[in-house]
Amino acid sequence: MAKNRNLDPEFISKLDVLDAQEAAVYLRTSTSTLAKYRMHKRGPAFIRQSARKVLYRRADLDAWMTERKAA
């Protein structure tokens, strides 16, 4: 992790594209949970930028949370 990385939830909520660590903060979960979601194809849509880099669109994270909303 970069030393001066801004993982403030308010800052992150303004980003359109988030990496896995930022997405985990946004969803209030861990990066390992997101990795498990990807492995089991149960989580939010993601973009594989490279073999080791995954990105998420904030709109996809919001849509995924809306889909999982309990009645």
- Reported as a single tens digit per residue, the pLDDT across 22-33 is 999 999 999 999
Question: Do 24 and 30 touch, CB atoms closer than 8 A?
Answer: yes
CA–CA gap between residue 58 and residue 4 (Å, rounded): 22
CB-count exposure of residue 12 (10 Å: 0-12, 13-18, 19+)? middle
CA–CA gap between residue 7 and residue 58 (Å, rounded): 15
Question: Do 65 and 56 touch, CB atoms closer than 8 A?
Answer: no
Convert the pLDDT of each residue in 35-56 to its tens digit: 999 999 999 999 999 999 999 9
Please tell me the pTM assigned to this model: 0.85
